[in-house]
Chain A
Amino acid sequence: MSKPTDPEEVPVLGRWSRWYWLLMLALVAQLLFFVWLTEHFK
């Protein structure tokens, strides 16, 4: 087994924000669609 990694060196944040924002946008769009469906066809 390799030696324990220094916890300070463990990477925490990745650099991929564009895709993450797009996914959040898709989630918000889906939620808005569901709100519309819930309210419109009540």
Chain B
Amino acid sequence: MNALDWLVLGGTIVSIVAYGTWKTRHQQSLETYIKGDNSMKWWMIGISIMATQASAITFLSTPGQAMEDGMRFLQFYFGLPIAMIIISVTMVPIYYRLKVYTAYEYLETRFDLKTRVLTAGLFLILRGLSAGITLFAPSLVLSTVLGWPLELTTVLIGLLVIIYTVSGGNSAVSLTQRQQLAVVMGGMILAGILAFAKLPKGLSFTDTVNIAGALGKFNMINVLPAGLADTEHLTLWQKINAVLTDRFNIWSGLIASVFLFLSYFGTDQSQVARYLGGKSLTESRLGLMFNGLLKIPMQFVILFIGVVVSVFYLFNQPPVFYNTVLKEQAQKGGRAQEIARFEKTYDSIYAHKQRAAGALAQAVQNEDAGGRQQAAREIKILQVQENQIRQAVKQEIEKAVPGAKTQDRDYMFLYFVLNYLPHGVVGLLLAVMFLAAMSSMAGELSALSSTTSVDVYKRLLNANASAQHYLSAGRWFTVAWALLAMVFAMLAGFAENLIQFVNIVGSLFYGTILGIFLTAFYLKRVRGTAVFVAALVAEATVLYCYFYTDLAFLLYNIIGCAVVMLVAKVISFFVRSAHPDNT
């Protein structure tokens, strides 16, 4: 990092925050604070939706994921366009017709107050905890690479978000998200182009794609789990079981993730607020279509950048462990000799790999299919050996620094940025990470504040205050949630288990929330008490699955949703049988 990098980093962040704050400084009521002035066009809504979903960890972790595992993560998003259509058809018109501020308001109109408060409460727990993680994950990585204390990066990102979110509310969030996403995607694409330019001379784009393909990086469609050998001898049940326990395949992408995205985009206020600020119902629907159309290509681009960087590392030696700060800590902690020994072996394996990579490039350029296959096989064997060494180094680090986080995937892309990209671009890419963290955190804080203001404070505690009072309350709730997220992010560093728990909190609650909404839309005769009891039963069922079974987390979304709808229908049936007039 030199002066130019700091200038680009600071200049980009400060100018976006300052512009957003200045442009949206006149907020006069809670309505405009929460929904904006209802002037958003479809493309603004679409960008805002995408920027809220894509947090810093998307841009830190996804290229690393492609470098390690290929592009199969892309399948996770295949259900998203389907979810966008269902939401546009069912949910958006209802929110518009009832002119709601939050998604949970609709539940009181359709069911009763207790169902509304229960669902809003589930959302506040879920989103409040994940706002802390949205802040913690990039703060940790950026503090490590910049050599700053974790508290400093956490407070810095938190304060920057507070400035414009408190001042301008939803309008400021949406306005800044446009600029943030433009810088983020521009920066990422620039990094990809520069990575490609740094490949050996004479290697064309097609050659690069061919090399990556030979090494199995384009594993975007998995009908059966990747790496599952000898599938012919498996029974149908064994194949189904393998698919159910595998995280990313075409089935989980097209079926299970639809439920997750339905819940996230249709019932999570951090997303609902994005399209409720639309100019009209049509603009909101088009905004969702925009997201459905561009989300998969956007993830494709980010993963593809990771693939290009992985090809770059065939011709340039990668480090044995990408979190260099942690490695140095372990070396100082008495494991220097052991790590040096492993590094020596790693270097000699790489020397072989580099030769094989040269042979692969030549075979690709000469269109020699046999040579290509042979070189690729050799590289894959060497990569297995490299991974064994990397694993051994991680164990040494764990011995020297007990409790250290040795998963270095989040550092892979940043290591490339910091060590191989020119000055100025390094500053830009660090700004990308800060801006991505800010844009998703702003969306979350704005939603947390509006749900607390509308569904709890205004509805339950203080129903008859002035517009100015509610606006000021909304601002204070934003500050309070931001402070809570910052405290949580700082505590998360000390409690690894807490992070693991929070990562699955979404799946614990989303199924039930979705079930309540789908019951509202499709089971027309079900009333409030039936769905309230059903939601409690569903939540208990999901928690039982979490504590006493080994089911994959993604399935909780389906289970929670199905139990709510089923139990609500059954209760409703018996109540109607007992009181036929009460239908």
Residue interface mask A1-40, B partner, CB < 8 A = 1: 1101101101111101001100110110011001101101
Which of under 10, 10 to 19, 20 to 34, or 35 or more describes the interface residues of B? 35 or more
Contact yes or no, A19 B220, CB < 8 A: no
Which residue in A5, A20, A30 is a CB contact (below 8 Å) of B85?
Answer: A20
Which residue on A lies nearest to B206, using beta carbons? A41
Segment with Cβ contacts to A, from B208-216, B422-430, B433-441? B208-216
> Is B579 interfacial (CB-CB < 8 Å)?
no
How many interface residues does A have (CB within 8 Å)?
Answer: 27
Contact yes or no, B524 A38, CB < 8 A: no
Contacts of B110 in A (CB 8 A): 4-5, 7, 10
Contacts of A23 in B (CB 8 A): 81, 84-85, 289, 292-293
Contact yes or no, A16 B89, CB < 8 A: yes
Contacts of B321 in A (CB 8 A): none
Contact yes or no, B210 A41, CB < 8 A: yes
Contact yes or no, A34 B524, CB < 8 A: no
> Is B521 interfacial (CB-CB < 8 Å)?
yes
> Is B525 interfacial (CB-CB < 8 Å)?
yes
Contacts of A26 in B (CB 8 A): 81, 293
Which residue in B88, B292, B525 is a CB contact (below 8 Å) of A7?
Answer: B525
A21–chain B nearest beta-carbon distance, Å: 9
Distance between Cα atoms of A26 and B210 in the complex (Å): 25
B interface: dominant SS: helix
Residues of B74-132 at the interface with A, using a CB-CB cut-off of 8 Å, are 74, 78, 81-82, 84-85, 88-90, 92-94, 97-98, 108-112
Which residue in A1, A20, A34, A41 is a CB contact (below 8 Å) of B89?
Answer: A20
A7-B524, A11-B93 known; A42+B220 contact, CB < 8 A: no
Distance between Cα atoms of A10 and B98 in the complex (Å): 10
A23-B293, A27-B78 known; A37+B285 contact, CB < 8 A: no
Contacts of B221 in A (CB 8 A): 31, 34-35, 38
Contact yes or no, A19 B98, CB < 8 A: no
A23–chain B nearest beta-carbon distance, Å: 5
A34–chain B nearest beta-carbon distance, Å: 4
Which residue on A lies nearest to B210, using beta carbons? A41
Contacts of A24 in B (CB 8 A): 81-82, 85
Contacts of B82 in A (CB 8 A): 24, 27
B198–chain A nearest beta-carbon distance, Å: 21
> Is B319 interfacial (CB-CB < 8 Å)?
no
B265–chain A nearest beta-carbon distance, Å: 14
Contact yes or no, B93 A14, CB < 8 A: yes
A29–chain B nearest beta-carbon distance, Å: 11
Contacts of A40 in B (CB 8 A): 213
Contacts of A38 in B (CB 8 A): 218-221
> Is B547 interfacial (CB-CB < 8 Å)?
no
Contacts of A13 in B (CB 8 A): 89-90
Contacts of A34 in B (CB 8 A): 74, 220-221
> Is B296 interfacial (CB-CB < 8 Å)?
yes
Residue interface mask B209-252, A partner, CB < 8 A = 1: 11011101011110000000000000000000000000000000
Contact yes or no, A30 B297, CB < 8 A: yes
Contacts of B296 in A (CB 8 A): 27, 30
Distance between Cα atoms of A41 and B526 in the complex (Å): 52
Residues of B267-298 at the interface with A, using a CB-CB cut-off of 8 Å, are 285-286, 289, 292-293, 296-297
Which residue in B214, B219, B521 is a CB contact (below 8 Å) of A12?
Answer: B521
Residue interface mask B329-340, A partner, CB < 8 A = 1: 000000000000
> Is B574 interfacial (CB-CB < 8 Å)?
no
Contact yes or no, A41 B81, CB < 8 A: no
> Is B522 interfacial (CB-CB < 8 Å)?
yes
Which residue on A lies nearest to B111, using beta carbons? A4
Contacts of A41 in B (CB 8 A): 209-210, 212-214, 218
Contact yes or no, B90 A5, CB < 8 A: no
Which residue on B lies nearest to A1, using beta carbons? B108
Distance between Cα atoms of A30 and B216 in the complex (Å): 19
B161–chain A nearest beta-carbon distance, Å: 32
A5–chain B nearest beta-carbon distance, Å: 5
* Interface residues, chain A, with chain B CB atoms under 8 Å away: 1-2, 4-5, 7-8, 10-14, 16, 19-20, 23-24, 26-27, 30-31, 34-35, 37-38, 40-42
Closest CB pairs A-B (n = 8): A41-B213, A7-B524, A34-B220, A27-B81, A20-B85, A14-B89, A38-B221, A37-B218
Listed A/B pairs (24) with beta-carbon separation below 8 Å: A1-B459, A2-B98, A2-B109, A4-B111, A7-B110, A7-B526, A8-B524, A10-B94, A10-B520, A12-B89, A14-B92, A19-B286, A20-B88, A23-B84, A23-B289, A24-B85, A26-B293, A27-B78, A30-B296, A34-B74, A34-B221, A38-B218, A38-B220, A42-B213
Given A1-B108, A13-B89, A23-B84, 12 new contacts (CB under 8 A): A4-B110, A4-B111, A10-B520, A12-B521, A14-B89, A14-B93, A23-B292, A30-B296, A37-B213, A41-B209, A41-B210, A41-B214
